[in-house]
Amino acid sequence: MNVTSWDAAQYLRFEDERLRPALDLMARIPHPAPARVVDLGCGAGNALAPLAARFPSASVTGVDGSASMLAKAATTGFATEQADIAAWAPTAPVDVLFSNAALQWLGGHEALFPRLLSHLAPGGVLAVQMPSMHAAPLRAEQDRIAREGPWAERLSRVGSAPPVLAPGDYYDLLRPRVASLDIWVTEYVHVLRGEDPVVQWAMGTSLRPFLDALDGALREGFLDTYRAAMRAAYPPRADGAVLLPFRRLFLMARVR
């Protein structure tokens, strides 16, 4: 598995757009008064303060594997922990295990999600949001371009986040294990501005594994080809704005 470097500043160029699904997710968490809340895959920590506002009596901790992201998250004043989120386990059961746009990077959801449920206290809630964009040009063109051109050999073992499961698969996996389960899909239409804003968006997340594997002329050639593909797929509107439809899958599971 290739190790991806993360740039908090690049990720936060679209902080408001990236935070909106997190706010929508936490607003629907049904727990009345959690004592321990964990943001698993907290990244730069932009959801920590809203989580604390949503649950003012709770202890809120952010967990992430990236030192650069956690350095930014630490500036929020909340407790943070560096750990591989694929193997993380809490020291004590958690009342709300929250994860926004992180678990899609991990494979093996058939084993991962039951394990995360096992970390919850009685009545605890697992609240998850994951992008579901593999059929969209934003992601599909990354894979197509990676297979073509002079960089193809260098990128032969490189990929971005694996596809998430279909909603029905998560239902079949989780429903027998929980007291209640809510699954929904929302497509946000982000209004982006600036030079090649879709590329700038992707450079903060899904494009990083490809860029990390390239340098020099190969990296610039790959980026130029991706820029052209994104301009064609997401052309500017009459006022210069670029619309990026972005589909996200939400899961809310409460244990007995």
Tens digits of per-residue pLDDT, 32-60?
A: 999 999 999 999 999 999 999 999 999 99
For residue 45, report the phi and psi dihedrals to the nearest 5 degrees. Answer: 85, 15
Residue type, 140: A
What gap in Å lies between CA 108 and CA 240, rounded to an integer?
Answer: 41
Q: Phi/psi class of residue 227: alpha, beta or left (left: φ > 0; alpha: ψ in -120 to 50)?
A: alpha
What pLDDT was estimated at residue 210? 97
Q: Is the pLDDT of residue 13 over 70?
A: no
What pLDDT was estimated at residue 10? 59
Mean pLDDT, rounded, for 97-108: 96
Q: Is the pLDDT of residue 200 over 50?
A: yes
Backbone CA torsion sign across 68, 101, 203, 242: negative
Which residues 6+ apart lie within 8 Å of 241 measured at CB?
191, 192, 193
Cβ(100)–Cβ(28) under 8 Å?
no
**Residues facing 63 on adjacent strands:** 40, 81
Cβ(60)–Cβ(50) under 8 Å?
no
Closest Cα to residue 34, out of 159, 102, 121? 121
54-75, pLDDT tens digit by residue?
Answer: 999 999 999 999 999 999 999 9
157-187, pLDDT tens digit by residue?
Answer: 999 889 999 999 999 999 999 999 999 999 9
Closest Cα to residue 201, out of 222, 163, 229, 230? 230
SS3 labels along the chain: CCCCCCCHHHHHHHHHHHHHHHHHHHHCCCCCCCCEEEEECCCCCCCHHHHHHHCCCCEEEEEECCHHHHHHHHCCCCEEEECCCCCCCCCCCEEEEEEECCHHHCCCHHHHHHHHHHCEEEEEEEEEEEECCCCCHHHHHHHHHHCCCCCCCCCCCCCCCCCCCCHHHHHHHHHHHCCEEEEEEEEEEEEECCCCHHHHHHHCCCCHHHHHCCCHHHHHHHHHHHHHHHHHHCCCCCCCCEEEEEEEEEEEEECC
Cβ(193)–Cβ(242) under 8 Å?
yes
